Amino acid sequence: MSKSVVLATQNITAGYGGHPAINDITVELREDEVLCLIGHNGAGKSTLLKCMFGLLGSESGVITIDGQVTTKETAREIADRGVAMVPEGRGVFPSLTVRDIFSLGMHAAGVPKKEQSDRVEWVLEILPAIKEFMNRPAGTLSGGQQQMVSIGRALLNRPRILLMDEPSIGLAPKLFQDLLAPIRALQQREKLSILLVEQNVREALKISDRAVVMKSGAMIWEGLPDELQDNERLMELY
């Protein structure tokens, strides 16, 4: 039986100051899968994620979540539908402690006070290394630790759909795997849907169910990770 589509864009065109950065993008994220989105710098990957998460309006096209049109919804409305985003560049406030970042995130998402400590506990079960630096300002953490905090903050909203924008930036492949392995385990256990934007293609494909490739604002390929593992095929697409 084919999996149902949880988030879809149909012919989305969007950009900045009247210049389209993505053109006519149609993509489907299905239930219980990791979809890897790859492409060079400037291909339009972040722009697509921003549109999906209500951070950037589109010029044309339609975005749906669970079949409902969300094209004009705000990030808060989209978050309320069970979507969370891990932004590119970590997005943690350097002067705040991890604990404060988590509190602020839950406050912004409207998580009831009485649920907040359970949520934090739950995230610490998934990413236990965070326990060691809960009380440190994020600015004093390593890149990998900050990335963990950024992912942890997104998970606090208990999303069904997680949009991750280049979590591997600045991380060695081994660290990246250490970070993604628990996320993949969580995804499989809870049947989450994850859209993973990555340039660290080889590592990302290892934990992906399907892959799409973007180039110069267009979607140029869609298929199974195994088909891309072959070097030549990958080079051709780039």
Q: From the CB of 12, what's the least distance to ligand ATP, in Å?
A: 12
Distance CA 235, CA 104 (A): 43
CB of 30 to ligand ATP, least distance (A): 22
Contacts with ligand ATP, residue ranges (CB under 6 A): 16, 21, 39, 41-47, 88
Instruction: Give the residue with the Cβ less far from ligand ATP, 35 or 156.
Output: 35
Closest approach, Cβ 60 to ligand ATP, in A, equals 17
Q: Tell me the C-alpha to C-alpha distance, in Å, between residue 175 and each of 142, 148, 170, 179.
A: 11, 11, 10, 6
- Cβ distance to ligand ATP smaller for residue 38 or 183: 38
**Do the Cβ atoms of 152 and 117 come closer than 8 Å?**
no
CB of 73 to ligand ATP, least distance (A): 20
Burial 153-172 (b: 16+ CB within 10 A, else e): bbbbbbbbbbbbbbbbeebe
* Closer residue to ligand ATP (CB): 137 or 143: 143
Minimum CB separation of residue 110 from ligand ATP in Å reads 28
Collapsing DSSP states into helix, strand and coil, what is residue 110? coil
Query: What is the C-alpha separation between 185 and 206, in angstroms, rounded?
Result: 13
Q: Of 44 and 105, which has the nearer Cβ to ligand ATP?
A: 44
Between CA 45 and CA 192 the distance in angstroms is 21
- Minimum CB–partner distance for residue 198 and ligand ATP (Å): 9
Nearer to ligand ATP, 56 or 101 (CB): 56
Q: Which is nearer to ligand ATP, 24 or 100 (CB)?
A: 24
Task: From residue 124, give the alpha-carbon distance in Å to each of 12, 134, 160, 214.
Answer: 37, 10, 18, 34
CB atoms within 10 A of CB 181: 12
Element (H, E) at 49: helix 45-52
